[in-house]
């Protein structure tokens, strides 16, 4: 069962907004066994929309359309879809009463309602309306010659509500969907080609209904097994067996058996054990703290820490000795050791992370080029430090340092 997503609107094509809707829709359809064949972003242009619909119909059973349903002149999705089906527009009572109730809530009276507001309730005569609880543009469901078309607003929370409450239940009720099972293994510290080489024979032995995808991100690779079938329990068992073989083969580089972020692995591990974390960040400049604290509930684990860009703060907050910095430099094994042990002691944590390095593009020397990063992790009685040599790009060096530090922390946490 294939679907296509068509997003309509110039704001995507001029790069003003990033299309986050499509990934959201794709994820939710995949979960119910519908694969996305193609995602297309097209302009608010009649002919372009008609062509996109015709092309999509040749490839997919379900076509999901977002955008172009606003009340302004450049929003032409609705009338273009009516043209595509060769039908007229009629007023829909449900949609009109939704428009009126929203108008009333915002304005307190229907007296000033304009024609453009009322026109929001006009829909192609061959559609079923899907309620938009969060806006005036109704969703529209068409089932024509065995193809399902759904038109939704481009505003993310309007679309999401409509998908969850209307479209997904209706797709499940209308279609006979296969069972899809996904399993993600998060690995850190080995490149895609090394992993591929290491598990080549396992990959080759996969049956045709199970696929393995490599999803790389700086310093990390997600290995995702996806299978389809009819018997969910049997499929799960089968996929778990392959996952177990891959996990055993890849060894310590596997940090999670689910599709979560590296910092969530840390938070989960530490939360389970009731452990507290503090950080001392120099070249990562608060990024590790931000990664952790973007997650709800991180305060269970994360105490906080110091962002010590200046040497004075390394000394003042972490107790790094001035002589250490003078003798070995701020980016050195000795300094990172004092940083991480200082964070552990001063912030009263069970575990600590420290990072000091040259993120670049400036600040490098022949001895310590840009990309030189020292990471330390520590618990009471044990400190581990490691030197990394990354590249010349600042953002990448910050990201890689964070990944390296979190992976070292996971390694230390696993020792118990």
Contact pick of 66, 77, 187, 308 for its own copies (by CB under 8 A): 308
Residues in the chain: 416
| Residue 275 interacts with its own copies (CB under 8 A): yes or no | no
Token reading at 344: 């552990």
Q: Does 110 bind its own copies (CB under 8 A)?
A: no
Q: CA–CA separation, 410 vs 36, rounded Å?
A: 35
Binding-site member from 95, 256, 265, 317 for its own copies (CB under 8 A): 317
Q: What angle do CA 304, 309, 303 make, to 5 degrees?
A: 5
Give the distance, in angstroms, between the CA of residue 317 and the centroid of all CA atoms in the same chain. Answer: 35
Contact 277, 251 (CB under 8 A): no
Q: Write out the binding residues for its own copies, residues 146-185 only, by CB under 8 A.
A: 155, 157, 161
Shortest reach from residue 309's CB to its own copies, in Å = 4
Segment interacting with its own copies (CB under 8 A) among 83-91, 124-132, 278-286, 375-383: 278-286
Q: Does residue 206 interact with its own copies by CB under 8 A?
A: no
- Candidates 67, 70, 124, 138; binder of its own copies (CB under 8 A) is 70
* Binding status of residue 378 toward its own copies by CB under 8 A: no
Q: Is 270 in the site for its own copies (CB under 8 A)?
A: no
Encode burial over 29-39: b for 16+ CB neighbours within 10 A, e otherwise.
beebbbebeeb
- The residue (of 215 and 234) whose beta carbon lies closer to its own copies is 215
Q: Is residue 271 a contact point for its own copies (CB under 8 A)? A: no
Q: Which of 48, 236, 321, 387 binds its own copies (CB under 8 A)?
A: 48
Residue that is written with structure tokens 């193609």 in the block: 38
- The stretch among 228-236, 261-269, 319-327, 384-392 that binds its own copies (CB under 8 A) is 384-392
Q: Is 279 in the site for its own copies (CB under 8 A)?
A: yes
Q: Which is nearer to its own copies, 244 or 395 (CB)?
A: 395
Say if residues 360 and 394 touch (Cβ distance below 8 Å).
Answer: yes
**228 to 257, contacts with its own copies by CB under 8 A?**
none
At residue 30, the 3 state secondary structure works out as helix
Region from 7-15, 84-92, 168-176, 229-237 binding its own copies, contact rule CB under 8 A: 7-15
Q: DSSP states of 40-109 as a string?
A: EEE-S-HHHHHHHHHHHHHH-SEEEEES--SSSTT--HHHHHHHHHT--EEE-HHHHHHHHHHHHHHHS-
Question: What CA–CA distance (Å, rounded) separates 136 from 127?
Answer: 17
Interaction of residue 287 with its own copies, rule CB under 8 A: yes
Exactly one of 125, 164, 312, 326 binds its own copies (CB under 8 A); that residue is 312
């Amino acid at each position: 069962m294939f679907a296509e997503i068509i997003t309509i609107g110039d704001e995507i094509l001029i790069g003003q907004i990033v299309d986050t809707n499509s990934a959201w829709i794709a994820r939710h359809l995949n979960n119910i066994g519908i694969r996305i064949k193609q995602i297309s972003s097209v302009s608010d242009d009649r002919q372009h929309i008609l062509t996109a619909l015709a092309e999509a119909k040749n490839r997919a059973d379900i076509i999901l359309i977002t955008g172009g349903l606003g009340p302004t002149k450049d929003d032409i999705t609705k009338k273009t879809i009516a043209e595509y089906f060769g039908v007229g527009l009629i007023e829909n009572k449900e949609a009109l009463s939704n428009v009126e109730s929203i108008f009333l809530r915002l304005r307190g009276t229907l007296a000033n309602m304009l024609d453009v507001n009322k026109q929001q309730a006009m829909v192609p005569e061959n559609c079923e309306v899907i309620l938009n609880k969060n806006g005036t543009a109704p969703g529209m469901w068409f089932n024509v010659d065995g193809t399902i078309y759904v038109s939704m607003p481009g505003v993310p929370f309007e679309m999401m509500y409509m998908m969850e409450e209307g479209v997904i239940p209706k797709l499940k009720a209308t279609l006979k969907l296969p069972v899809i099972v996904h399993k993600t293994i998060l690995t850190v510290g080995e490149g895609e080609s090394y992993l591929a080489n290491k598990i080549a024979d396992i990959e080759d032995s996969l049956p045709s209904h199970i696929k393995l995808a490599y999803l790389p991100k700086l310093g990390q690779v997600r290995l995702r097994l996806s299978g389809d079938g009819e018997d969910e329990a049997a499929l799960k068992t089968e996929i778990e067996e392959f996952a177990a073989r891959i996990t055993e083969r890849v060894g310590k580089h596997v940090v999670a058996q689910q599709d979560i972020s590296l910092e969530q692995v840390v938070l989960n591990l530490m939360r389970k054990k009731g452990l507290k974390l503090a950080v001392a960040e120099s070249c990562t400049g608060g990024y590790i703290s931000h990664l952790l604290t973007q997650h709800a509930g991180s305060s269970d684990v994360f105490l906080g820490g110091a962002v010590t860009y200046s040497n004075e703060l390394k000394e003042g907050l972490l107790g790094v000795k001035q002589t250490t910095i003078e003798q070995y430099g701020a980016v050195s094994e000795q300094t990172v050791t004092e940083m991480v042990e200082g964070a552990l002691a001063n912030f009263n944590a069970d575990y600590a992370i420290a990072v000091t390095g040259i993120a670049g593009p400036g600040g490098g020397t022949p001895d310590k080029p840009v990309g030189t990063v020292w990471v330390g992790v520590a618990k009471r009685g044990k400190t581990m430090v490691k030197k990394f040599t990354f590249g010349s790009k600042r953002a990448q060096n910050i990201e890689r340092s964070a990944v390296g530090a979190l992976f070292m922390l996971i390694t230390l946490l696993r020792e118990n």
